[in-house]
Amino acid sequence: MSRRVVLESGFHPSGRRTYWTAERWFFFDDAEEFFKKVASLEGKTLLFFATFEGGFPFLNLPAERGELPPFGVAVLKESVPFRGGSFGGRFLAASLGREQYLQRFERIKRYIESGDVYQVNFTVRFDFEFSGDALGLWERFVAAQPVPFGAYFETPLFTYLGGSMELFLRKEGNLLKSAPIKGTLPSYEDPGRFFSDEKELAENLMITDMVRNDLARVALPGTVRVENLFKVESYETVHQLVSVVSCQTEASFGEVLKATFPPASVTGAPKRRAVEIIRELEPHRRELYCGTVGLILPEGDFCAAVAIRSALLRGNLLSYYAGGGVVYDSQGEREWREVLLKAEAFLRALKGS
């Protein structure tokens, strides 16, 4: 049975939204088996994903499997455009309420104050009962907030609805780029505020430096550079602070992913300790949220997004996730409001059903 796939303009060299069908999915618990399968499919157009927890062994942490397999890849066949149908949804619960969030936020602050960690990305999951066509919801979601790395795909196990604006990795020939996002303001505020906010600038700089270090692990000597520091990108509900890091590399797809995953912007600093704290304090598994979704072209070039602003549909349970980075001078109420702000476009799309 073929499954529908839609990828927004940032994924494909054509710069347009593309429609595909996935004729067969392959799922893997082991990263090396996943990389071997990807290599065996050279010359084909592929869609792949890796869950957040799938990256734990790359940080020398124990593997942790959730409901989803950690890795998956499908061969794509280009399709004519298709449209989604009607849908409905009802809110069930959040993995953390405001008070629980603020209590755990304070525990993160204590870890930071004690020198365990400098930054932790902390998230919340929102669950809904869903009925109807998920593609219809995704179309409304990305219409409410157009983004370059939106993605919709169906598998036998789950459906992914992504509204990401964050480039994780783009490889074209030997050029490898990453564009981490750290820094968020509501769209009604002046984005110039970023440049007078030491907390936002420091947070972005810290993650940019982590990405430099990650890329350096696979870069040709002397080729890592920051192409753009503190660039503002504006969307329907938010302004984002973005930096762009690049290098030249001869590394394989698997070598690049092992060196850089999970993405620095959705873990913290240092990455391994931040992930340990995330596992301790978040009552939910992230699954594909904060993992990566990407397109591999027949010649081997690829583009992968950080799977933020995303939802998973399993049966009739729809889960949407949102979060943000916590640093030394973060304020709990402000961070909670940022979580709600990042959920706004999705909730607006679902309520409009």
* CA gyration radius, the chain: 19
Separation of CA 111 from chain center: 25
Residue 126: predicted pLDDT: 96
Whether 219 maps to a domain, the answer reads no
Q: Which residues are catalytic?
A: 166, 182
8 A C-beta contact, residue 71 and residue 48? yes
DSSP secondary-structure letter at 336?
A: H
3-state secondary structure of 204: helix
For 132: left if phi > 0, alpha if psi spans -120 to 50, otherwise beta; the answer is left
Whether 228 maps to a domain, the answer reads no
Residue 69: predicted pLDDT: 97
Residue 1: predicted pLDDT: 67
Whether 212 maps to a domain, the answer reads no
Question: How far apart, in Å, are the Cα atoms of 175 and each of 76, 256, 294?
Answer: 24, 12, 17
CATH for 268: 3.60.120.10
Domain of residue 127, residue span: 3-174+247-351
Give the pLDDT means over successive 10-residue stretches in the chain (353 positions).
Answer: 92 96 96 98 98 97 91 97 95 96 97 95 96 97 93 97 96 97 90 89 91 97 96 91 97 97 94 96 97 98 97 97 91 94 89 71
Partners of 74 in beta bridges: 25, 47
Whether 216 maps to a domain, the answer reads no
Residue 243 CA to residue 226 CA, distance in Å, equals 8
Q: Count structural domains, the chain.
A: 1
Whether 186 maps to a domain, the answer reads no
No. of H helices and E strands in the chain? 7, 18
Whether 221 maps to a domain, the answer reads no
Residue 328 CA to residue 150 CA, distance in Å, equals 32
Residues near 14 by beta carbon (within 8 Å), at least 6 away in sequence: none
Whether 308 maps to a domain, the answer reads yes
Whether 191 maps to a domain, the answer reads no
Q: What is the mean pLDDT of the chain?
A: 95
pLDDT tens for each residue of 42-88: 999 999 999 999 999 999 999 888 899 999 999 999 999 999 999 99
8 A C-beta contact, residue 46 and residue 96? no
* Other Cβ atoms within 10 Å of 245 Cβ, number: 26
